[in-house]
Structure 1
Amino acid sequence: MFSNVRHQAKLTNLGRAMEIHGPKLLGSLYNDPITSINLFHKFSVQHPEAYWPIVLKELSVVFHEAPKCILERNDKSKQGGTWLPGSLLNIAECCLQPMSHPRKQDDSVAIVWRDEGCDDSSVNHMTLKEFREQVMLVANALGATFSKGDAIAIDMPMTVHAVIIYLAIVLAGFVVVSIADSFAAREIATRLRVSNTKGIFTQDYIVRGGKKVPLYSKVVEASPLKAIVLPGIGNNLSIQLREQDLSWKDFLSSVDRHPRPNYYDPDYRPVDSIINILFSSGTTGDPKAIPWTQLPPIRCAAEIWAHIDLKVGDVFCWPTNLGWVMGPILMFACFLNGATLAIYHGSPLGRGFGKFVQDAGVTVLGTVPSLVKAWKSANGVDGLDWTKIRLFCSTGEASNVDDDLWLSSKSYYNPIIECCGGTELGSSYIQGSLLQPQAFGTFSGASMTTGFVILDEHGIPYPDDQPCVGEVGLFPLYLGATDRLLNADHDEVYFRGMPMYKGMQLRRHGDIIKRTVGGYYIVQGRADDTMNLGGIKTSSVEIERVCDRADESILETAAISVAPVGGGPEVLIIFVVLKKGFNIQPDKLKMKFHKAVQSNLNPLFKVSVVKIVPEFPRTASNKLLRRVLRDQVRHELSVRSRM
């Protein structure tokens, strides 16, 4: 457990705001940081009109036209009301301009980066002024190539150029379409079609683990749209382009005669204008097209400010991609808080990434648990100096306590802040905080301004102080959450069928969470990853945590349950991926799993089958697809029943 009150000075402004809402809220505000954060959270949920002006002042958010108010609660057309009505801004401009507060200047370092294979070279860097000029150059080139308002895709790794292109698209009044570079041509085509994209930025190839992986060829297969193609390495392309496509060099040359190519007047739009179209994982059918307005960037930057204390002088690194929600979150969190964005152009699995973290002086490092497991298994960061890291962040999947302890040990046992949210929220609804003790693999509470309840199987909320397990129901008053989907019924997806609570209809998110006796929270998986074993409901994540520790040969496990073809109680099946160099029989693992599950969870649970596989099916954002494993088993059982 950890406690860090280094940024408790932030409490002063919040405390002053709380004073005008009555002395009862103050309590032991200035004496007990744990009590304080609980009071502040309650204040932020109950009085968003007082909380958000304080936070907006702390961020690099400047309105071209100020909002009429913080929240218009009487807008019945939207479940969560209307935020910042009447305001005009360009959130990309906010990222690019120097500010006297919080001391973001033109000579501040905006981005640092290094290419894979150049691990012994100096870390590259770009000042805010240099970065702004590059964004404005690209914005002018966009204006010469596309029509205002067009949707323009980015199908690239998260590189310095990708970030520049993203902000240029927003600055110039276009819409970013986010596509992860790992997608196959068919998935790229689907996203281009759903978003009505008019053009796409890509690379000839990408470098991963020393190997060249083609990228442009997938785009060609996916669509006849105009592509602007960047070289994977160096300045020259390695492939021949189609007639309608442009090289990066030719694209930029469109502004050669521009009188001020490095200056661009921002396109100011209402705060609820769409700037980015992201997508859900989408394993069957079309993925949900999730529009981001200018509100989610404000929300995610505010959460990083409140929970992680990101500020000028910090260097923030998180291996991710602009095709997934963590990419835009990382980018906006850095630039709106005045921190430096650190990007490694290559695979985060190798030692080169770890050395970049060391050489770039990273102070905040984000991870996903499977990445930590890989670092630990390969001893890839041994001997490197990560002691400048003051905290770690983790998201994407449930953390392993042993892996967390190993990671924390790399930097004086500094805390790991767990984050869990969603693309449609633009943020985390549940999170750790530096103003509370942290426990590995758990969340210490809801994020600031977020309210939620835990529902029992009948949709009735448990009392707030009661240990329990159930589906989370979010309060609808949530700055940054979607109020529309481009290809699905928003109300059907997120609200219909959810219960009322204190006069408001709860918002669906789909997570099963557990509130422990100590008041911590553990995400137990998605609602469709629960299982009924012997009449007892449990989650895949809970079983996997136990099985992962059952034998040293295990890299990771996946637990599912299926009902027999002829009906009857569900049976528990464990899929296993072994560490390299290990070989063990499924029956032996079954005995160990059986003992571990009965000893640590419930003596009524029984492991029926163990299957050893080379790898698990995952989405491109690395989420485990238990549903695919479940369907495979059901198909096998169906085939056997017909033989």
Structure 2
Amino acid sequence: MVRKAVWFPTDEMKKKMRMFQLMEKNGITDYDEFYQRSVRNTPWFWEEVIRDLELEWFHPYRQVLDSSDGVPWSRWFVDGKLNISHNCVDRFAKASSSRNRLAVVWEGDDGEVRKWTYRELQNAVNRFARGLTRLGVQYGDRIAIYLPMVVENVIAMLAAARIGAVFTPCFSGYGAEAVAARLRDCRAKVLVTADGFLRRGKAIKMKEEADRAADLSPSVEKVVVVRRLGRDIPENGERDVDWDQLMTESKALPPVHADADDPFMIIYTSGTTGRPKGTVHIHAGFPVKAAFDAGYGMDLRVGDTLFWMTDMGWMMGPWMVFGTLLSGSTMVLFEGTPDYPEPDRLWQVVADHGVTHLGISPTVVRALMKHGEEWVNRHDLTSLRVFGSTGEPWNPEPWQWLFETVGKKRVPIWNYSGGTEISGGILSSNLMEPIAPCSFNGPMPGMDADIVDEKGNSVRGEVGELVMRQPWVGMTRGFWGDPERYENTYWSRWPNCWVHGDWVETDEEGYWYITGRSDDTLKIAGKRLGPAEVESVLVDHPEVAEAATIGVPDSDKGEAAVCFVVLNPKARESEDLRLELIGSVAKNLGKALRPKAVYFVKELPKTRNGKILRRAIKAAYTGRDAGDLSSLENPEAVKVVQRSAVK
């Protein structure tokens, strides 16, 4: 089927875009020529990007790219020294033209609004950085940030980077066990949390979960508490410190001169097996990639306002922070939900704050479109210039609704896909070219992406594996404390070739489409979740012997978790036990990750070497072809799963 483009940029639009202006600086006016040059000579391309971003270096780098330790361990901007906190706030705060520009706008669930200029943000970052040093946080120490969408999230990130510490953001909806797994893995010294937050008008406790997580994590010495709600909370006199107590010293704290290759952030992402993977990101990596993707891919400029509906525990949270601040733009942080107290809350936020760039997932669009267009039409949304979308594939109906009903066919949808390990996107829409529904125009500049068959040969017009042929700025510097797992996960299939784990195809017009994951990882409402994280909660129950989790299509979340459980011999199946298991997952991992269903089975499909074959379970449950199942030890178990699907 030929998919026709529905949005077309004018020549006037293109000439104003940062991407076009970067091309012009290099004497290029044709985008395809620019892309080809960016992948033929990736060091040239990324050096031009950091020059155009006007990053400030304390010591110049001597080499853009060094792959002498192997492509998986490529180093960028060798021997250069900088600090990403300095580049995000100091260089704008010191300039008279930008110091009073808004950096952050925060809106609470209850409608309260607070704002920070670049100068005010710099002052807060300095104060908290000094506070961290008083707690004994030193260069290279890890701090975990387990906060709702409040400005303290941004301040803590930048303060950690300022003193050379490494922060790890945790999803605010996680339960204690999920947070503790991350604290233990990176051996976090400090945990920053809040007493709670508001959601749909109700106070959600947070300190209690943080305490449980800290209790399970021997490395945690201090718990810093943001008093978001001012509620009574349990206190640990030896461990707890109020945020405000650390914000008393206003004297400027010079940023450390960090190596370009030094870690500044660890973001955990889940795979199909084992514990969560701590992707390591460096000062001259993730922020640069985020700034390029936001600034040039999404065309975020000075004076623009970016609002991405996300959480700081997911990649798009830090992406918004660094993409916005390195562009000298404004970000909106929103504590609430898009349909509370009325179905037009999201559109009201856009109108009230003059949002120019709105990041919104297909899941949110599917939920809002049920309320009809009258809620949209109550608000002046003419400030909008670009929609962004990532985390899950589109289906046509919500894409058309967003484009036509909300954007009035005027605002393009910038489709965007990559990952935590990428620091942003591999594929995206191109605002300089016509855009077709649900599609990508192709790989982003600097990203030498390809589609290959099972032998690693390039293919077009058929489904294949998405791979990267060359390193890029922003690629993770391995998994924290587990370099072998990193190499095995992404680099072991073909030499010097990153295998991303997405199935991709192109159509006859050259548009790219992601058809699904090539592994077992779940994506629930755009949030990636490894089945092992759900399964570990289930098997912790005294009556559960084994468990397997799959992702199935869901009309609201895009994908939902369905679990299959084998009970211990003396245990008995019951509806109460089923509900208890569902509730346990929601409590430990967060309500958003609550399973859609739990089924009791006598055995799980396994290979002869004892590996649970989730692919077979998912195929049986969804009625799809599972392919070769010759390795199954017990094919009869698949039939049990099939019967579960029709109950």
Instruction: Tell me the residue number matched to 1:57.
Output: 51
- SS of the equivalent of 2:26 reads helix
- SS of the equivalent of 2:116 reads strand
- SS of the equivalent of 2:439 reads coil
- SS of the equivalent of 1:70 reads strand
Instruction: Tell me the residue number matched to 1:607.
Output: none
Instruction: Tell me the residue number matched to 1:136.
Output: 126
Among 2, 11, 16, the alignment partner of 2:7 is 2
Q: Does residue 433 of structure 1 match 2:430?
A: yes
Instruction: Tell me the residue number matched to 1:358.
Output: 351
Alpha-carbon distance change, 262 to 410 in structure 1, aligned in 2, over 3 angstroms: farther
The 5-angstrom pairing of residues 104-503 of structure 1 reads: 105-118=98-111, 123-149=113-139, 150-224=141-215, 225=220, 226-233=222-229, 236-249=230-243, 251-252=245-246, 255=248, 258=249, 261-282=250-271, 285-294=274-283, 295-350=285-340, 351-379=344-372, 381-408=376-403, 409-413=405-409, 414-462=411-459, 466-488=460-482, 489=484, 490-498=486-494, 500=495
Q: CA offsets per residue over residues 408-446 of structure 1, 9 Å max, x none?
A: 231332100000001111110011111111112110010
| 1:249, distance to aligned residue in structure 2 (A) | 4.7
How many angstroms apart in 2 are the aligned matches of 1:429 and 1:148? 34
| 1:477, distance to aligned residue in structure 2 (A) | 2.0
Instruction: Tell me the residue number matched to 2:508.
Output: 517
Q: CA offsets per residue over residues 72-127 of structure 1, 9 Å max, x none?
A: 35x14443632100100100110002459999610111111211122xx6x43211
Alpha-carbon distance change, 623 to 241 in structure 1, aligned in 2, over 3 angstroms: closer
| 1:250, distance to aligned residue in structure 2 (A) | 5.1
Alpha-carbon distance change, 78 to 385 in structure 1, aligned in 2, over 3 angstroms: same
Instruction: Tell me the residue number matched to 2:517.
Output: 526
- SS of the equivalent of 1:93 reads helix
- SS of the equivalent of 1:524 reads strand
- SS of the equivalent of 1:343 reads strand
| 1:157, distance to aligned residue in structure 2 (A) | 1.6
Counterpart AA for 1:2:
W
Counterpart AA for 1:435:
M
| 1:632, distance to aligned residue in structure 2 (A) | 9.6
How many angstroms apart in 2 are the aligned matches of 1:338 and 1:266? 19
- SS of the equivalent of 2:391 reads coil
C-alpha contact 1:117 1:352 (8 A) present in aligned 2: no
What do you get for the CA RMSD once the two structures are aligned? Answer: 3.3
C-alpha contact 1:229 1:245 (8 A) present in aligned 2: no
How many angstroms apart in 2 are the aligned matches of 1:458 and 1:81? 25
| 1:247, distance to aligned residue in structure 2 (A) | 4.4
Q: CA offsets per residue over residues 499-556 of structure 1, 9 Å max, x none?
A: x5xxxx21111000011110000101101369xxxxxxxxx99xxxxxxxxxxxxxxx
C-alpha contact 2:390 2:416 (8 A) present in aligned 1: yes
| Deviates most, 618-627 or 242-251 | 618-627
Alpha-carbon distance change, 453 to 174 in structure 1, aligned in 2, over 3 angstroms: same
- SS of the equivalent of 2:504 reads strand
Alpha-carbon distance change, 632 to 349 in structure 1, aligned in 2, over 3 angstroms: farther
C-alpha contact 1:272 1:293 (8 A) present in aligned 2: yes
Query: Runs of 5+ in structure 2 lacking a partner?
Result: 1-5, 525-550, 558-581, 597-613, 622-635
C-alpha contact 2:144 2:168 (8 A) present in aligned 1: yes
| 1:468, distance to aligned residue in structure 2 (A) | 2.1
Counterpart AA for 1:52:
W
| 1:271, distance to aligned residue in structure 2 (A) | 0.8
| 1:16, distance to aligned residue in structure 2 (A) | 4.9
| 1:284, distance to aligned residue in structure 2 (A) | 5.0
Query: Runs of 5+ in structure 1 lacking a partner?
Result: 19-25, 30-35, 531-539, 542-572, 580-613
- SS of the equivalent of 1:190 reads helix
User: TM-score scaled to structure 1, two decimals?
Assistant: 0.77
Q: Tell me how many residue pairs correspond in the alignment.
A: 535
Percent identity for Structure 1 against Structure 2: 26
How many angstroms apart in 2 are the aligned matches of 1:631 and 1:228? 46
C-alpha contact 2:85 2:162 (8 A) present in aligned 1: yes
How many angstroms apart in 1 are the aligned matches of 2:400 and 2:191? 42
Alpha-carbon distance change, 431 to 133 in structure 1, aligned in 2, over 3 angstroms: same
Instruction: Tell me the residue number matched to 1:560.
Output: none
Among 23, 30, 40, the alignment partner of 1:14 is 23
Counterpart AA for 2:518:
A
How many angstroms apart in 1 are the aligned matches of 2:493 and 2:552? 33
| 1:162, distance to aligned residue in structure 2 (A) | 1.0
How many angstroms apart in 2 are the aligned matches of 1:304 and 1:370? 21
- SS of the equivalent of 1:337 reads coil
- SS of the equivalent of 1:468 reads coil
Counterpart AA for 1:70:
V
| 1:58, distance to aligned residue in structure 2 (A) | 2.5
Counterpart AA for 1:81:
S
Instruction: Tell me the residue number matched to 2:543.
Output: none
User: TM-score scaled to structure 2, two decimals?
Assistant: 0.76
Alpha-carbon distance change, 103 to 506 in structure 1, aligned in 2, over 3 angstroms: farther
| Deviates most, 2-11 or 339-348 | 2-11
- SS of the equivalent of 1:338 reads coil
Alpha-carbon distance change, 625 to 480 in structure 1, aligned in 2, over 3 angstroms: farther
Alpha-carbon distance change, 248 to 458 in structure 1, aligned in 2, over 3 angstroms: same
Alpha-carbon distance change, 428 to 47 in structure 1, aligned in 2, over 3 angstroms: same
How many angstroms apart in 1 are the aligned matches of 2:253 and 2:241? 22
Counterpart AA for 1:302:
F
